[in-house]
Each structure stands twice: as C-alpha cells, then as structure tokens.
Structure 1
Amino acid sequence: MTNRRQETTVAGRGLARWGLALRLTAAGLAGATAIGSVLVPVVAQAQDYRFTNIRIVGNERIEAATILSYANISSGAAISAGELNDAFQRIQGSGLFEKVELVPQGSTLTIQVQEFPTVNVVSFEGNSIMKDDALAKIVKTQPNHVFNPAVAEADADNIARGYAEASGRYGVRVDPKVIRRSGNRVDVAFEIIEGSVSEVQRIGFTGNHSYSNRRLRDVLATKQSGLLHAIISSDSFVPDRVDQDRQLLIDFYRSRGYPDVQVTGVSSEMARDRNAVFMTFNINEGQQYKFGNITTVSEIPELDAAEFSGLAKIRTGSIYSPNAIDIAVTRMEQLALRKGANFVRVDPRVTRDPRTQTLNVQFALVPGDRLFVERIDIEGNTTTQDNVVRREFRTVEGDPFNPREIRNSAERIRALGFFSNAEVNTRQGSGPDQVVVDVNVEEQPTGSLTFGASYGVSSGFGINVGLQESNFLGRGQYLGVQIGTTSDNQQSSIDFVEPYFLGRDLRARVHLWYNTSEDDNSAYSTKRLGITPSIEFPVSENSRLELRYTYSVDRLYNVTSEEEAAASGSSSWSSPILEREEGERTTSSVGYSYTWDTRRSGIDPRYGFTARFGQDIAGVGGDVESLRTTALLRAERKVWHEEVTLRAELEGGAVHKRGDTQLTVLDRFSGYGKVRGFESNGYGPRDRNAPNGDALGGKYFAALRLESEFPIGFPEEYGITGGLFWDTGSVWGLDDKIGAGGIEVDDGMKLRSAVGFSIYWRSAIGPLRLNFSRAVKKEEYDKVQNFDLTISTQF
C-alpha cells in the first residue's frame, strides 16, 4: 500500500490537476488566436478563416473522423473566430480528451488532443459499513471505460449520499485518487472516511395540544438516540424517512377524529460536527370531530338504499375515523356486486357542522365507469410465485374494475412481508374500457435463523433455537422449527402453514410437538408427543373459526410410592392419586375454536377486544374420553391522551371425563401462568399428607387479570415503562380425591390473588419484564414467588 501511495497522483476533492489542464487548454486557444492575429494583416482580421487542410495530432484510440465530426469544420469553408471557439468547445465537451488545442497556421488547422486515460481498476478503501459490491453499483467510473474527472468527482458525491441514505452518516468524506499506469491507463481509488452515524439527538413538536411529545414520538419511525444508540438503527437520521414520519403523524391524528390536521413543516438541523440532528415537527391539529348523521341514498333505480344503510355500522357521536368510512364503503360495494350490480361506486359525501363539531356522512350509490380489468402484470418476483401475489386480488382478468378493491389488494400484498417494496398501479389497456394492473415488487429475505435466551425464576435459564421461513419455496407457506430447553423442561415443535389451502381463504396448519419435564415444581416426570392438523377460515369480518384434530401420546412416570420410598430408605413419596394415574395413554380428539377480534378491522386504535371460545372432545379412538372447554375475554384501552394502557383478561376452563375414563394430572389444568405471584404449579389442590406435596391440578380454573402500563419518567427512546397489576383466580376440582392415609384431598375453589408492579423494557436484546409481586390471598401450603424476570431475545 505504501508503494501505491508513492505512485498516486493526489487529485484532491476538486481533482485540481485535471482542472488545471483544461484551463491551460483554454489559454492555449486564446494564444493561438493571438498568433493568428499577428500573422494576418489588420485589414484582414474582420475576414473569415479558410482551412484547406485539417490535421489531427495526438489521437490514439479515437478515430480522426470522430474528432472531425465534433469539430464540424468543412475544408475550404469560411469560419469565424467565434465558430472556431465553438468547435473547440464541442471537442472538449465530448468528455473524451484531457487536453484540446486548436492551432490555425495559414490554411492548415491543427487539432492537437490528449486523450483521457482508460480506467484499469476501480477500488474502494476505508469502507466497512458499505461493502465494495454496493459501492460499485453507485459509481459510474468503470474499468475499461474512459476516465473522466468530472464523473469521478460526481461518484465521490454519490458515495457520500449513499452513506447518508443507507446508514445516516453525513460526515462521510470521499477522496478520489488517480494512479498513473503505463499505456495511458489509470487506477482509480476512492478513499473513504466513514465517520460516525448522524444520530437524531432530539425530536420536538410544536402546535400539539391534544397529545404529548412522548406520545407523538412513539408514532414516528424515527427515534431519538438513547442509552443503547450504538446498536439501535432507528435513531439514525434518514431524510427519506421524514416523509414517512409526516404521513404517520397525519394518519395518527385523522384516525382519532382530526380530519384537518396538517404537518406544516419539518425542521432538521444538523449539528456543527454533523454527527447529530435536531428535528422539529410543526403541527396544526385542527378540531376534533365526531360522526353526525349517517345516511344512505341510491342514484341507481334497481338498488334500494335501505338495504345498504345498515352496512355502515357507524354510531352517531363516535369519534370520526376515515377507516370506519372505508370499511363501510367496502361492505356496500361488496353487497352491490352480490346483487349483480357490477358498475357501482359508493361515494361518501362528508359535510361538516363546525358548530357541533360533527361530520355528517351520506353514502351515495352512484353509477361507476364501465371499465374492465384486462390483465394483471406482476414483475420483480424472482422467488415468489405469481399465484402468491395474484391471490391477494379479489379481482381477476375480465372482472369489472373497482379502484377501491385494487387499493385494498395492494395493502394485502404489502402486509405479506415478502417484499421490501410493492407498488400497484393501473394504466389504460388495449381499449378505452380496459385497465391493466401493474404490480411491481422487490423481494426481501423471508427466512431467519434465531437464537434466543430466556430466564424465569422458577424455570431457570433456557436456550431457544428457531428456524423460520415465511415464504417457503416461494409459495407463501410458513415453516417453523423451534427447540427450547431449560433446567427442568425441553420443548420442541414443528409448524407448517398453508394460508390459502385449495386456493381459498383456508388456513391449513400442521403442528407437531415433543415436550418433556423432569422437575417442574413436582416430583414426577412427563413426556408428551403429539400432532394437530387444523383448518381455519373467516366467519365474519372480525371472526374466524378453527377446526382441528389432535392425536397425542402422554406419559406420566417417576412417581415414587410409599412402599418404594420405604424400601429405599427414603422419606419422600408422592400422592397415591398420582400413583393411580401413572402410565402412558393416547388421546384422540376433535375440536374447534371461535375467535372474535376487533383489531382485524381496527376502526378505533384506542380500543381492542378479543373473545375466544373453544372445545375439544376426546374419544375418537385413543384411551381418553373427555370434554375440554376454554374461554377467554380480553380488552385493552388507551386513556389519558393514550399515555396509559389498561388491560383486562378473564379466562376460564373446564374438563370433564366421559365414560369410564380416569382423568390424570396431564389432562387437568395447572396454575401455570394464570395468576402472577405464585410459582409454576404453586397453587391448587394438593395432597398435604404426602411428603412430596405435589400439585394435582384441577378440572376447573378461572382467572381475572387487570393491569396498566404507563410512563415512569424515562425518555421514551429507552423503551422503559412501568405497570401495576392485580391477579386473582383459582384451580380446583378432582374426581379422585382419596390421598395419602386415605384422607380426602381438599379440592374446593379457593381464590388466590396477588398485586404487583412491573417494569417493561423494550431493549435492544429483546423484550424484558420484571414483576415484583405480593400474594395478598393464599393458602398456607401455596408456593409464592415475589419476583420474576423474563427475558426473550433473538440475534
């Protein structure tokens, strides 16, 4: 590298040597003109030049005819001094020559040129953030092409711009170096000093009265630099992200009833050393509006407005939301299609009443343009099959053209997560009534290999390894393999999902698992192996139904009886109830789950409600006959200008034996994860007369969990929030109650409850949660847990 530096002609940022050569050329032309004026009598200076001979000197690669074509001077024709200068400018402007001189000598014009050298090698030095392959795509200076200093200078600027756009580095310095080689060839080396990332030091807002700076910063894609800024990429300043942030703010306000919101400006000030940026968003919120009168009219005689009015499902007095209008329009247009009215458009006509701050909406059914989809062209999908993209369209070739449906299809394509960019545009087809839909996508990696770590006070330290591919073989299928282990448990599973089974909106899934436990707060071991194929499909806009079949082989073993303990001289033995349940059994069951989730429509982002009900009936073969029922209600709401999140969960379940089946601890419910503040299997029916005191589980469980999450004073870029929780619940009920010494086990419903404080940290290594709890209602034999730490990360 030292020898190379000794051979290097340092051009500097302006490539001064090349620029000096061009200035000397211009001076040479001026001198030649002066010489000509000396040789020609004064009286003849107003006359034109006439050259009968044009001589080309110095050209090696460029043909003389090419140079003459640039000069455009005809032999014997009259030419003025100005036209001679124009010829010089044309030859020089071709970018082929380092030096150009035009020397008139009587009737002979000598065009003397020095060609630019040919580029031998293009290299990059000092780059680590951006690799050579990426930089080579940016520069126009290429090997075996003519070297042009202006192009090299532009390449240096483009490299610096590429760093700014890709990694937020604005202090990058790029110096092009030129190394002379024999044979009129040069090596070009771009010397790069990458500098540091230009971090977003502060994000501020003006004009925001309804929402705090903290809440609005949480909306943006750009984040402030925080404690772990060195490994967080979203705090680097990327100009292209500013427009995205502006739109995110507008969407945020509009979805909350501010239709007139404007982001009037975004100020991005760079620090003097260019390693920090200060951003300020200027917001004009406008007034918050609610929905007023909601009406429907029809301008199409064959369609009755009354049949469509009920599809709006917008309550007068609710906060205005554009999403609610879009969903209503989609419902109405779909009904029109089902009625055979293909060319119908639903226009939402919004009128405002500033006095009451309401927006009245009239949905008008009007005739639409008679356009048809001629074809759908898909480009850019090198791995993903065409049908994976095409099935996101509810429209096929030959169908009536519906602009709203095309927009919805574009959103569904983007939501797949297979593409870094997906653009859906339309253009006129072969006729005035034909439309061609162009889909241009850019694929991105869809597979990942993850390594995870977890820690729980009861379960200890664990390692998780996972392999996921969400676009398996380009077919849009999901394949996932998970392997996890802790000191007491080993869990492994394989999942395969076909989201469009049989070409329909049927989600087919196959789930296989193999789990073992050795000492999960119990003195027995378990092994569980099973498979569950299932089909899931939509029932309504917000609900889905899953149908499944499950086959499993479950084994309960290492249960120590009183006789075995006495024979070995041990004083530790398990409950006779577990002794009677020990062994291996197969379970064959069919089941279903119905889920209703308002987040599917997402009309009001401040609210969310989920309900799930499921049953599994065992006895379709196998050793077990039972009915297992579970239900869950979950609600979430953001309050106090969305600074605080409130959550509530009510969960319950029951399992009943059928026929002569004897339920075991593997069939019953445990207390794990249902009430915080207690260890795994830390509460529920327990044989207190058996030394091991194992938890026996219960046929029933119920739990109510209430919690809140709120800021606790840390800057939001650290991702640290706090929370309070209160859990209460119970596990109860046994069929076989006779325990050690023939004494009946107490299996009654006894409520447990705990209160606590949580710290949430959305850290760079993964979500972390610390729970500090205190059991306020418990039994004396329960095993409490006052602290719990959970870490989950992927890298």
Structure 2
Amino acid sequence: MKNLKTIAWGAAIATVMTAVMPLTPVDLFAANPAFAQSVSRIVVRGNERVAADTIESYVAVKPGQRASAFAIDESLKNLYQTGLFKDVSIKRSGSSLVVEVVENAVINRIAFEGNSRLKDDMLEGIVTSKGRGILSESRVQTDVQRVLEAYRRVGRFGAVVEPKIIDLGRNRADLVFEINEGGKTAVSRISIIGNQKFSDGRLRKVMTTKETGWLSFLSSKDVYDSDRLAADEERLRKFYLNEGYADFRVVSAVADLDRERNVFFVTITVDEGERYRVGDVEVDSAIPDVDAESLRRLVRLDSGDVYSAVEVEKSLEDITIEIAKSGYAFARVSPRGDRDYENKTINLVFQVDEGARAYVERINIRGNDRTRDYVIRREFDMAEGDAFNRVLLDRAKRRLNALGFFKNVEITTQPGSTPDRVVLNVVVEEKGTGSVAVGGGYSTTDGFLADISLTETNFMGRGQYLKVAGTTGTSKRSYEFSFTEPYFLGRRMSAGFDVYQRRLKDNDTSREYDSRAFGGKIRFGLPIMTDLSFNPYYAVEQKEISNYELYGKANASTAITQAVDEGKTLKSALGYTLVYNTIDNMGDPSDGIFVKFGQEFAGLGGDVKFIQSTLDARYYRELYPAWGLVGVFKVAAGHIQGIAGDDVRLLDSFFKGGETIRGFDSGGYGPRDKASGDALGGKTYFNVTAEAQFPIPGLDELGFKGSVFADAGTLFGSDATKGSFSNSKTIRSSVGAGVIWNSPFGLIRADYAYALSKAKEDKTQAFRFGAASQF
C-alpha cells in the first residue's frame, strides 16, 4: 500500500512538471523573440532637420547587436534628453530597428505681451529659449518659472505667465509669453516680538524694509525682498550690539503671503539679552618693539562705557594702522571680549601678534560694467605686492559700500601661486547713481518755489560728483553747478568747484529791495584723521543791490541807499574750514558730534577787505532709545571785521532771523534802520538751540517726527555811518514745537514758535514753513 502511494505521488509530480515545462525560469527571462535576433540595420523615420546619422549616434544598439529591452530604454532616454524631439518610438521590423521621431519645432521668435514693469530686453536675458532655437516644452516651463521669479524679485508675487505656441507651419512656431504682472506685493505690516528695550517703531527705523503707506509709490522699500529682509536681520543685530546688547539674536524672521490681499505680513522674533558695559580695557603686545601702553590711547572705549561693536571695530583699525606705520606690516590685532555675566560687563583685550607673512598676489574685480577698476582699487589700503591684512580688507569693503555705487559688495580670498600669496576676488553689483529731482512747494520766506536738480555721483564711472540745479519762485531764483573729484592727483583728497547765481526779489516782508550774487569757488578736502578734515578754498563773488523800494523817499534807509549807490562789489577771498564729524547718519542723525569752524580772508584783489570767522557745533544723543527720543544741542557763532581801514559793507554782514531763532522773521533781529525799519545786518552773532525730536505715532513710518525746542541768541554791531539805527545786544529767545518730514523730496519742516524776549525793533513771525537741511 505504501509503495502504491509513492508511485501515485511520483506520477502526479511528473504530470505537473510536464505541464509547467514551458514556464521554466530560462524561458521566463528569455528575450522577446522580436528583439532576440541581431539587428542588421537601423532605419530612421520622421526626421526633417536632424540628420539620420546624428539620431543613430544616440541609439545604444548598433548593427550586429541584439536589441535588448535595456538598450532600447537607454536609447529612448538619450534621444529625449537631446531636447530635439517631441515624440520618439523604437520598434523591430524584421531584422531592422526602426526609430520614428517627431521633431520639436524651431522657434521663429520670442515675444512678451502685457509686460511694462520688466522690459522685453530684460526678460529675453532671463529665458533660456531663444529665437532660431529648438522649442522644448520642458524648457518653456522652466522659462515660465524664471520669469515669475524675476517678478517676485521686484515685488510682484501675483504675476501670472502663460506661454502660447503659435504654429507657423513647416515645423516653425512663435513662442509668446502672455504676462499679467498684477499689483505690487507690498509689506502690509512688520511685527516685532520679544523686544522690550526698544519700541517696534524704533526698530523698524533701523530696517530698510518698510510698511506700505500712502507715499509708497515714491519708493520700493515696501516691496518684499527676501535678501533685503536677511540684511535687515543683520542691521538689527548691529544696532543692538552698538547699544551694548552683546547676546542679542534674531530667533526667526517669517514673511507670510496673503494671496487674496496680495500683501506680506512680516514677523520678526528677537531675544534682546542683557545690556553690557565695558569693564577693563587692555592692549597686550607679543611684539617686543611695540609699546602696548602707547596703543591704549587709540582704544575708543573706556571702562564704564556702554559696549559698542562699532567702536571696537574702529579701535581695531586705528591700532592696526598705527602698528603698520611702525614697520610691522604683518602684525595682527585680535580683539577679545570676556563677559562677566554677574556684573554685566565685557573686559576688552586687544592682542597684538606678529601674524603670518602673506602678500597680495592679485586683486580680481568683477561685475563693474560701468565703474572703472581704479575707482574700486583706490578704496583698498593694500595693493598687489603689499602685505595682506584682514582688518584693512574689511575696511575696504565698508568704504566700497559707503560709496553708494553698488547694491552689493563681496570680497573673498583664495590661495595664490605660493603658500604666502593671497588672491583677492572683489565682486560688485552696480546700481543707478544718477537722479533727477523735480519739486515744488511753499516757503513763508520765499513764497512759492519750484526746483529741479540733476545729480550724478559716479560720473562716467570715474567716481566723480556732478550736480546741476535750478530754483525759481515768487521772490527767489538760483542756479548752481558743482563738480567734485574725490581722489585728486591720485591721493585721498578731494578737489572741486562750484559756480552759482542767486537772485532775491523784494518780498515786502524781510526785504524791500532786489539782490543778486554771482560767484564761484575752488575747494579742496584734506583728511587729517578719520573724523577730522581740513578744507581750504578760494572764492570770488560779485554782489549788488537794486530796485530799492524806498529809494529817494524821506524814510529810505541811508545805509541801503549807500549800498545801492556803490553798485556791484567784488569779493576775492581765501578761506578754510575744519570739520570734525562723528554723526551716525547725516540724513537722519541720532548720535554723534558735528563741529565746523571756518575762516575767510577777503582782500586778494576785489573791493572788500575783511576777516570772517564762523562756528557751527551740534551734538545729537538718544535720550530714550525705546521711544526714539533724540536730544539735539546746537551752538553757532560768527564775527566779521574789516581790515586795512575798510568797513564791513552791508552785503557782507550777517543777516539772521527765523532760521536760527524761530519765532522771528527772516532778517528779523539785529541792527535795523529806525527810519525805514530795514535790516542792516550785523558783525557778531551767536545762538544756541536745545531741541527734542521724537517719532509721531502712526506717521513715523512715513518719515514724520515732532519736536519741541528753545532758541536763544543775538546779532549786533554795524559799520553803517549814515542814518539812525538800532544796535541792541538784547538776547532774543523763543520756545515752540514743530513737525519734521523726511520726505522723498528732501527735508521739510514746519515750526510754530513764541518769542519770549526781543528788542523793540525786531520783527516776529510765529509760523515758519519750508525746506530745511540738517547741515
């Protein structure tokens, strides 16, 4: 029985094996009979422009070889990757391998429709599809994304791009990108989280990204730009570091797009940390011949000062340059800050070491299509062949950024031909340096005004400054031409000249006559130290008074009548100014000192001989940084004295009014003719101002600030010999409030002041409105 079962199982297994014999592994994995045979030839069909030999070169199967599935698949991939074909198929026909292709069309032309923000020539440089090139659908889709990215960079995140292919027959087509640019995608709100020491408004003032407003059409700073936001993170970090918050960090910066409203909401989260002051300050020198104690005086921070990264950086530069002057070109100065967390202090140590000997082998400059190479090279304190110094390299980068010629400056280093050689690569991205400003307005002094100015700060790529300006109005007309060469004779000194003409007409308020001045100046600028400069000049000017309204009448001013009779007077003078400047921002100052002392010596020919001395000193300090409250203290003084027996003529005297002590008319205080009431000018003046400036909530993003102030001063002394005039030395004073607008057209301010003290003959003016300047 057992043997019978064994026989039965054997028979069953044999039957099954016989049934599945056609499906053995050998047969399952054998090639398709249609492809198993060797290929005798390759036949190409459907090609019109591409040669058959070219197509065959991409086929992985050659005559005499088998056409495996793997080889066929590779062939298809190769042919599609060429971008020449819209469709490809490969099949066997007998012993032949037939390759059928459908060629992509040739682009006849590329066009853009609906675009105005970005011009055709710019978009043509962005897309990879080109006229007379092959039309590839994958490339077209890539080009759509490239165009969309270009619109995002200019703040048009709602832009839509639709590619249209227009068949022209004979396998030719036009490629048209239909563009709907959409509206500007602005930053609707900037929220800052985690700040306690400084208000949101104060921190937004540090950033270049701005919230959109009713004047945003004049600027693109409210357009979202990821690179700009990243740069703003660094600006915030530097701001906090300069205020002593050494542990500050930006936790996150997120921009959320609201597609329905087409706006961004920016949220920045910060961790301020603690505020540190400077503890001990030391200079430690490992070079025997370098006296550390003598270098200590170059450190700009003392024990007890609020820690400032900028002052540390400036101290580092000063020490490095001083050591280099002593012959140690390779010396390395490394600052170290040791935190004392308990006392909230940072102990500073400037370590001076020999440093590795390295030389600048080559300076490569790229990206400057307009700016000349030498304009960039001269900002380096290192030339090819000089000792390499990292501190001086950082200084050069700051100088290049400060020029205002470039959007971005990157300086990298790479090894040179030998271990002690370094190659510097300078890559710049240029920006527009020319501007045309057209404006108009009203001034309580000169009535309605209209002005136009053309300014170029990088004239012909040579780094030269050129300005042409003109102003016309109810009672004022002026023209001006200025030119400055910042590197005269190849040295770090400026030279330039100015030519101007000014006409003032009778305005029935501050003057009852016309005056005209025409002149020019040749000037130089010589830096003495980082913050101190000496600026000599030669000036020639012709002045005259005419059309005196009261001339010939009984109450006419005899002094003015005499000036009319004298006609034109010519001044030929040498002068100079000494300027000390540590202001943080000349356009919107909040910290620093500005002092300008000048003297002018007239008498090198001409009709007048005098010595004139003037002083203008200003001090800015943030009184309460959290609110952006800035205190301003100003002192100004001047004296003019005739020499060689000459009197000071009326046209050369000082005329002061509401521009120095608000609450007074232009020329409203000082010596005055008693008969006519005309201002005669004075020989000596001084005035002081104490002012507090603060952002106006809700309007600070638009550049509006408020101010409260107190002014005081006087003007006296006159060489007038005819008629009766007042010459009071009374101290004039006033208090008031104002609004300052840092507008796209320039600085504009309106002040209301009340005169607390004045002389009997003075003329007051409570409200004053017009253009202003910081310096």
Q: Which residue of 1 aligns with 2:667?
A: 681
Q: Which residue of 1 aligns with 2:105?
A: 117
Matched, 1:663 2:663: no
Trace 1:438-517 onto structure 2 (pairs within 5 A): 438-517=425-504
Q: Which residue of 2 aligns with 1:574?
A: 556
Q: How big is the shift at 1:696? A: 0.8
CA deviations 1:345-398 (Å, max 9, x no partner) are 011122111011111111111121110112323333343333222211111222
Q: Structure 2 stretches of 5 or more lacking a match?
A: 1-26
Trace 1:586-597 onto structure 2 (pairs within 5 A): 586-597=570-581
Q: Which residue of 2 aligns with 1:702?
A: 686
Matched, 1:185 2:172: yes
CA contact (8 A) 1:638 1:644 kept: yes
Trace 1:237-386 onto structure 2 (pairs within 5 A): 237-273=224-260, 275-386=262-373
Q: How big is the shift at 1:274? A: 5.7
Moved more, 726-735 or 43-52: 43-52
In structure 1, C-alpha distance between the alignment counterparts of 2:110 and 2:287, rounded to whole Å = 68
Matched, 1:761 2:749: no
Q: How big is the shift at 1:657? A: 1.5
Q: Which residue of 2 aligns with 1:545?
A: 534
Moved more, 702-711 or 714-723: 714-723
Residue identity in the other structure for 1:575: S
Distance 1:648 1:146, change over 3 A: same
In structure 1, C-alpha distance between the alignment counterparts of 2:743 and 2:584, rounded to whole Å = 28
Q: How big is the shift at 1:641? A: 2.1
In structure 2, C-alpha distance between the alignment counterparts of 1:658 and 1:230, rounded to whole Å = 56
Q: Which residue of 1 aligns with 2:153?
A: 165
Moved more, 669-678 or 138-147: 669-678
In structure 2, C-alpha distance between the alignment counterparts of 1:767 and 1:554, rounded to whole Å = 29
Matched, 1:415 2:402: yes
Trace 1:596-635 onto structure 2 (pairs within 5 A): 596-599=580-583, 607-635=591-619
CA contact (8 A) 1:754 1:773 kept: yes
In structure 2, C-alpha distance between the alignment counterparts of 1:391 and 1:276, rounded to whole Å = 43
In structure 1, C-alpha distance between the alignment counterparts of 2:744 and 2:600, rounded to whole Å = 40
CA deviations 1:121-166 (Å, max 9, x no partner) are 1111111211111111111111111110111111111111110112
Q: Which residue of 1 aligns with 2:8?
A: none
Residue identity in the other structure for 1:182: G
Q: What SS class does the counterpart of residue 603 from structure 2 fall into?
A: strand
Residue identity in the other structure for 2:515: T
CA contact (8 A) 1:730 1:752 kept: yes
Q: Which residue of 2 aligns with 1:713?
A: 697
Q: How big is the shift at 1:764? A: 4.6
Q: How big is the shift at 1:588? A: 2.0
Distance 1:489 1:64, change over 3 A: same
Q: Structure 1 stretches of 5 or more lacking a match?
A: 1-40, 566-570
Q: TM-score, normalised by structure 2?
A: 0.91
Out of 756, 759, 763, the position equivalent to 1:776 is 756
Q: Which residue of 2 aligns with 1:526?
A: 515
Distance 1:53 1:251, change over 3 A: same
CA deviations 1:42-90 (Å, max 9, x no partner) are 9975663422232111111112122222221022322323332332233
Q: How big is the shift at 1:647? A: 0.9
Q: Which residue of 2 aligns with 1:19?
A: none
In structure 2, C-alpha distance between the alignment counterparts of 1:645 and 1:54, rounded to whole Å = 85
CA contact (8 A) 1:541 1:600 kept: no
CA contact (8 A) 1:165 1:240 kept: no
Residue identity in the other structure for 2:712: T
In structure 2, C-alpha distance between the alignment counterparts of 1:197 and 1:557, rounded to whole Å = 54
Q: Which residue of 2 aligns with 1:644?
A: 629
Matched, 1:52 2:36: no
Moved more, 208-217 or 88-97: 88-97
Q: Which residue of 2 aligns with 1:38?
A: none
In structure 2, C-alpha distance between the alignment counterparts of 1:397 and 1:231, rounded to whole Å = 44
Residue identity in the other structure for 1:214: G
Q: How big is the shift at 1:738? A: 4.2
Distance 1:662 1:300, change over 3 A: closer
Residue identity in the other structure for 2:713: G
Distance 1:272 1:423, change over 3 A: closer
CA deviations 1:73-127 (Å, max 9, x no partner) are 0223223233323322332333211111112233222111111111111111111
Q: Which residue of 2 aligns with 1:749?
A: 729
Matched, 1:786 2:770: no
Q: Which residue of 1 aligns with 2:420?
A: 433
Q: Which residue of 2 aligns with 1:3?
A: none
CA contact (8 A) 1:482 1:492 kept: yes
Distance 1:506 1:83, change over 3 A: closer
In structure 2, C-alpha distance between the alignment counterparts of 1:792 and 1:135, rounded to whole Å = 42
In structure 2, C-alpha distance between the alignment counterparts of 1:516 and 1:373, rounded to whole Å = 55
Q: What SS class does the counterpart of residue 726 from structure 1 fall into?
A: strand
In structure 2, C-alpha distance between the alignment counterparts of 1:202 and 1:453, rounded to whole Å = 31
Residue identity in the other structure for 1:331: D
Q: Which residue of 1 aligns with 2:4?
A: none
In structure 2, C-alpha distance between the alignment counterparts of 1:631 and 1:92, rounded to whole Å = 78
In structure 2, C-alpha distance between the alignment counterparts of 1:343 and 1:42, rounded to whole Å = 77
Q: What SS class does the counterpart of residue 299 from structure 2 fall into?
A: coil
CA contact (8 A) 2:466 2:483 kept: yes
In structure 1, C-alpha distance between the alignment counterparts of 2:28 and 2:427, rounded to whole Å = 69
Out of 68, 84, 92, the position equivalent to 1:104 is 92
CA deviations 1:15-34 (Å, max 9, x no partner) are xxxxxxxxxxxxxxxxxxxx
Q: How big is the shift at 1:766? A: 4.4
In structure 1, C-alpha distance between the alignment counterparts of 2:725 and 2:620, rounded to whole Å = 39
Distance 1:90 1:536, change over 3 A: closer
In structure 2, C-alpha distance between the alignment counterparts of 1:71 and 1:332, rounded to whole Å = 70
Q: Which residue of 1 aligns with 2:182?
A: 195
Q: What SS class does the counterpart of residue 648 from structure 1 fall into?
A: strand
- Give identity over the alignment, percent: 34
Q: What SS class does the counterpart of residue 79 from structure 1 fall into?
A: coil
CA contact (8 A) 1:290 1:357 kept: yes
Q: Which residue of 1 aligns with 2:7?
A: none
In structure 1, C-alpha distance between the alignment counterparts of 2:494 and 2:69, rounded to whole Å = 81
Q: How big is the shift at 1:590? A: 1.8
CA contact (8 A) 2:277 2:346 kept: yes
Q: TM-score, normalised by structure 1?
A: 0.89
In structure 1, C-alpha distance between the alignment counterparts of 2:740 and 2:280, rounded to whole Å = 43
Out of 202, 206, 225, the position equivalent to 2:212 is 225
Distance 1:416 1:228, change over 3 A: closer
CA contact (8 A) 2:300 2:314 kept: no
CA contact (8 A) 1:489 1:515 kept: yes
Q: Which residue of 1 aligns with 2:15?
A: none
Q: How big is the shift at 1:622? A: 2.1
Out of 525, 532, 535, the position equivalent to 2:524 is 535
Q: Which residue of 1 aligns with 2:393?
A: 406
Q: How big is the shift at 1:559? A: 4.0
Q: How big is the shift at 1:644? A: 0.8
